[in-house]
Structure 1
């Protein structure tokens, strides 16, 4: 019998903490999957889709921050960091890497499950309630559809378009789009962003020949037309 409960990948090497988390998640209706190392977590994510990752920063084989970077390369899965270090620097680093929330040890299992629910509500709302049927962004599967047509996007094209879709009307500079779409923004050039925007536009025209939802702002960057909501 197939479970419809959301799968939450728990990456925590301390058995006592992990068992508490797993019990709390099961009690609250989730299907937890437990891994103790970063490499095992990445392998698990490649093998099956998960709704969210609860990720310890201090793992035995690699930093949780490095695991998060690799997760974000593969797919935009929501991440909640766990850490024994509650310092502001760690928090900023974690959130800038793309984490959706951050919880310092010791923590209440009830607080963790509440945050898991809150993050899933927020991310699923963004994925399932796109712009009046024009855009459909399934963040868990890294897919974007335009006017009912699924777009065949490369990883960088997906990341670039996802940033625009998340904030219609907002003008993104090329530097901001580089940071959103490239693993090493410093290695990308302005014309690289322009080339990718051109490719994305071509794929959007294939889906809707008369549409041009990406606006060029000379000297500033790009935005998504608000009327395409």
Structure 2
């Protein structure tokens, strides 16, 4: 028997209403976050550091490789990544509820490692247990996020910010826009805040922002 999303007065559910916020503004920002002018990558590097001790950014990776796995050592996450589009309501379609350990990648957005912010989404919990991004709010600046790509490369990101954005005041420009133009960036998003029983949705989203600081080859495949 597979886990189902939490429902009812005594439970929670990651509903369409909660996920709709993930797509607000994406159609406005689509070209800006995915189309990176030639030569912009290097121009963005001097402003890459957002806190003392964080490393300089790494040039965006060439090619059109897709993400197949995401790893976050600080949380013990090693999860498969699947492409996701939009649902009938125009929201990012999250991974199926019977795959709570899977992360979704917004397929029409940036490919992680390329210039611009790539978007990864995951559930926070299910009916009976935590899901893949349950601990996302505990991530710290400086933590590492690795994205394994289908060409055998590993894009290595460094976390620079962890934020909670309330649904009522969600600003897509702030969440989805590049923090430094031309950089290869990553957004990891899940639900947060408190659970609104009347709306059957969480009141906020947890957003982890990271940027590319290295790359390597697996050598033995993914």
Larger radius of gyration, structure 1 or 2?
Answer: 1
TM-score above 0.5: no
Query: TM (normalized to structure 2)?
Result: 0.30
Higher strand share: 2
Structure number with higher relative contact order (C-alpha < 8 Å, ≥ 6 residues apart): 2
TM-score (norm 1): 0.29
